[in-house]
Structure 1
Amino acid sequence: MKYVIVIPDGCADEPIEALDGKTPLQAASLPNMDRIASTGTLALSDNTPIEFPAGSEVANLCLFGYNPHECFTGRAPLEAAAGGILLGPHDFAIRCNLVTVEDQTMIDFTADHISTEESTELLKAAQEALLNDDALPAHWRGRFEFVPGVSYRNLLIYRGDAATPSPFSDETRSTAPHDLTDLPIGDEFPRGPGSNWLVQWMSDSAEIFSEHPVNQKRKAAGKRPATNVWLWGLGGAPAMQSFQQRFDVQGAMITAVDLLRGIAALAGWPRIEVAGATGYLDTDYAAKGRAAIAALDEYDLVCVHIEAPDEASHEGRHDAKIEALQAIDQKIVGPLLEKLETIGEYRILVMPDHPTLCSTKKHAHGMVPLAMSGSGIAADSQTTYDELAADESGQRFPHGWDLMDQFIVSK
């Protein structure tokens, strides 16, 4: 049995007036996803338990069959795993966005999609100014490090030990910057143990970045500057069983996003890097499709994650969201279906992690539609892949982590 999971990140949405009351899924032309729906089954799944943030970190853990109550510690530790950063029992990882804030409003949580090279230069300056020995108490010196990632997505790592009290705890809370687009940030700074340090670094970074040569060049080029760091999503080391231990299936991940790379690493999946995969609307959809087809020759399960629909939603662009969905259908889902139909027994699942609403530009709690077809999956009466059809199917997974037990055939 071969398995394919396609994750059009954040594609679930609500009816949009400009689309005559349709959702982007309903408005898009998706013949291949509809073929999965008409030959298989639809359902709704809740991957965002209300007691957790409505984000990709919890939603994707649920999608892959992991109960977040048992293994979720925070978003940043998952992304640390993507970079091969091992966290000890007293360590913390903290997500560090480079953002654009104007008049105490979150203008852009990506700092205009700042380049990795520019981001690295700014974080070097922040390290020297904010985390030097004169800026920290003696017992925390040398324990903090900014770690550049990709573009605006970076980390701050704290290395602790049993003898040194950590400044943070499980009670430290923060807000994701992508949930603050075009909103005031005054009441959204971190809170709880150690939050005073996070707030101070976020505020002080503004002075360090304001006249930095990187930002001077960006402004001269008509680009938004990175005004400061935004620290969030912190947590300690997670504990997860490998996917193969859970389901006796070896998977592989195709994604351009560190969060998914990290979940894959913790699940024991190798990551297949694809040239041209950007994690944005300009990603090379066809290259991802080709890589997934090739990977099926080696792995039991191949997961293709595409960030583009989520990015379009964060920008409030339903037209770009529809274009991304149609590209996923044509260049990824269609070729994969053709391949699967030539290799014998298979199952394919199309499913977003969480809803991302164009109207609010934010992630949301709530159920998402899924379509799966293939060997041993009986067809129901639905013929299109969208939120309404999935709702009319009557099938529900109130705990999203239960879905994988039905998708994977027990050996």
Structure 2
Amino acid sequence: MKYVIVIPDGCADEPMDSLGGKTPLQAAQLPAMDAIAARGFQALSNNTPAHLPAGSEVANLCLLGYDPDVYFTGRAPLEAAAQGITLGPNDWAVRCNLVTIEDQVMVDFTADHVSTAEGTELLKSAQEKILSRDGMDGRLEFVPGVSYRNLLIYRGVDGEPAPFARDTRTSAPHDLTDLSVADDFPRGPGSDWLVRLMNDSAELFADHPVNKKRIAEGKRPATNVWLWGLGGAPSLPSVKERFGVQGVMITAVDLLRGIAALVGWPRIEVEGATGYLDTDYAAKGRAAVEALKEYDVVCVHIEAPDEASHEGRADAKIEALQQIDKHIVAPLVDALAQYGDHRILVLPDHPTFCSTKKHTHGMVPLVIAGTGITADDQTTYDEIAAQASGRTFAKGWDLMQAFLKG
């Protein structure tokens, strides 16, 4: 049996007046996904329990079959795994965004998609001018990632309590777009360290050559670091141990790379995959088709719909969905037919509403078709059709068992 999982990140949405009362999934032309719906069944899945963050970190763990109350320790540790960073029992990872804040408002959680080279230079200055000054070299380290997505690593000492705890509260910057951040700085154990670093970085970056150059080029500056999503080392059993199949991950996002590493999946890095709207959809589709030759499960994650939602652009979200349908889903459906027994699953991790520009709790629509799957009466893939099916996975982590073994 061959299995395919396609994750159009954040594609679930609500009906919009600008789309004539339709959701982006309903408004998009998705012949391949609709064909899957016609020969399979739809359902709703809750991948974001109400007591946990409504983010990709929780939702993708749920989607892949892991109860977040058991396995989730924080977002940053998952991204640390993507970079091959091993966390000891006393260590913590903290997600570090480079952001643009003006008059205490989160203007841009990506700092106008600051380049990786620029971000690396800014964080190098922060390491040298802030952490070295405070005597924290060796205990705290900024680790550059891709563009605005970076990490801060805290190395603990045996016998010494960590400055952070599970109840240290932080806020995801992508959920603060166009909102005041005054009440969203870290709170609780260790928050004094985090807030001080954030404030010190604002002072350092104000006159930094990188930002002077960006402003001269008409780009937004990276005004400071925003620290969030912290946690200690996670421990996850592999997918092969749990379900007896070997998978592979195709993604351009460190969070998914990290989850893949922790569940025992190798990654396929695709040239042209950016984690944004300009990603090379066709290249990801070709890589996924090729991967079917070697792996039992091929999982393709596409960040573009979520990015469009964060920008409040329904048109861009629809276009991203159509590109996914044409260049990823359709070729995979054709390829699966050559392998005999197979199943395909399409679903987002969580809803991201264009109207609010942020992730939200709630059910997401899914469609499954293939060997052993009995079709329902729905013929289009979207939120309304999935709701009409009457089938739900109240605990999102139960879905993978049904998909792989049911």
Under a length normalisation based on structure 2, what TM-score does the superposition of the two structures give? 0.99
1:307 is the counterpart of 2:332: no
1:135 is the counterpart of 2:134: yes
Taking the aligned partners of 2:84 and 2:263, their CA distance within structure 1 comes to: 13
Question: What CA deviation, in whole Å up to 9, does each residue of 1:230-249 have, x standing for no partner?
Answer: 00000000010001001000
Q: CA deviation at 1:141?
A: 5.0
Give aligned pairs, total.
406
1:240 is the counterpart of 2:239: no
Q: Which residue in the other structure is 1:375 paired with?
A: 371
Residue 189 of structure 2 is aligned with which of 193, 197, 217?
A: 193
Q: Which residue in the other structure is 2:13 paired with?
A: 13
Q: CA deviation at 1:161?
A: 2.2
Question: What CA deviation, in whole Å up to 9, does each residue of 1:107-163 have, x standing for no partner?
Answer: 00000111110000000001112211x414xxx552100000010000000011222
Q: Which residue in the other structure is 1:265 paired with?
A: 261
Residue 405 of structure 1 is aligned with which of 396, 401, 404?
A: 401
Taking the aligned partners of 2:215 and 2:160, their CA distance within structure 1 comes to: 42
Q: Which residue in the other structure is 2:79 paired with?
A: 79
Q: How does 1:283-294 map to 2 (within 5 A)?
A: 283-294=279-290
Structure 2, gaps ≥5 residues long: none
Taking the aligned partners of 1:83 and 1:58, their CA distance within structure 2 comes to: 19
Under a length normalisation based on structure 1, what TM-score does the superposition of the two structures give? 0.98
Structure 1, gaps ≥5 residues long: none
Residue identity opposite 2:173 in structure 1? P
Q: Which residue in the other structure is 2:380 paired with?
A: 384
1:163 is the counterpart of 2:156: no
Taking the aligned partners of 1:141 and 1:292, their CA distance within structure 2 comes to: 42
Greater mean deviation of Cα atoms: 201-210 or 362-371: 201-210
Q: Which residue in the other structure is 1:230 paired with?
A: 226
Q: CA deviation at 1:164?
A: 2.4
Q: Which residue in the other structure is 1:120 paired with?
A: 120
Partner of 1:3, secondary structure, is strand
1:317 is the counterpart of 2:316: no
Residue identity opposite 1:241 in structure 2? P
Residue 349 of structure 1 is aligned with which of 340, 345, 352?
A: 345
Question: What CA deviation, in whole Å up to 9, does each residue of 1:317-348 have, x standing for no partner?
Answer: 00000000000000000000000011111000
Q: CA deviation at 1:409?
A: 2.6
Greater mean deviation of Cα atoms: 394-403 or 211-220: 211-220
Partner of 1:175, secondary structure, is coil
Taking the aligned partners of 2:130 and 2:58, their CA distance within structure 1 comes to: 31
Residue identity opposite 2:386 in structure 1? A
Residue identity opposite 2:91 in structure 1? D
Taking the aligned partners of 1:161 and 1:357, their CA distance within structure 2 comes to: 42
Partner of 1:281, secondary structure, is coil
Taking the aligned partners of 1:276 and 1:124, their CA distance within structure 2 comes to: 27
Question: What CA deviation, in whole Å up to 9, does each residue of 1:249-292 have, x standing for no partner?
Answer: 00000000000000000000000000000000000000000000
Greater mean deviation of Cα atoms: 205-214 or 281-290: 205-214
Partner of 1:10, secondary structure, is coil
Please provide the CA RMSD for this pair.
Answer: 0.8
1:4 is the counterpart of 2:20: no
